[in-house]
Chains A and B, each alone.
Chain A
Amino acid sequence: MSPYEAVIGLEIHAELKTRSKMFCACDASFGGEPNSRTCPVCLGLPGVLPVLNRRAVELATRLALALHCEIAPYSIFHRKNYFYPDMPKNFQISQYDLPLGVGGYLDLELDGEGFRVGITRVHLEEDTGKTVHVSESGRIHASEYSLEDFNRAGVPLLEIVTEPDIRTPGQARAFMQELKSIMEHLEVSDCRMEEGSLRCDANVSLRPVGSTQLGVKTEVKNMNSFRALQRALAYEIERQEGVLESGGEVSQETRHWDADANVTTPLRSKEYAYDYRYFPEPDLVPLELDRAFVASVEAALPELPAQRRRRLRELYGLPAHDAVVLTSSKAMGDFYEAAVAAGADPKAVSNWMMGELSAYLNARGVEIGEVPVSPSQLAGMIRLVERGTISGKIAKSVFEEMLRSGRDAEDIVAERGLTQISDEGELEAMVEKVVEENPAVVEDFRKGKEKAVSFLVGQVMRKSGGRANPQVVNELLMRRLRGED
Chain B
Amino acid sequence: MPIAPLKTLVFVLALLPLAYYGWGAWHDTLGANPVEAVTRGMGTWTLNLLLITLAITPLRELTGWHAALRLRRMLGLFTFFYAALHLTSYLWFDQFFAWGEIARDILERPFITVGMAAFVLLVPLAATSSNFAIRRLGGRRWQALHRTVYAIGILAVLHYSWLVKADQSQPLLYGGILVVLLGLRAWWREVERREQLAGKYQPKIRNRIIPIQPRD
Chain A partners chain B: no
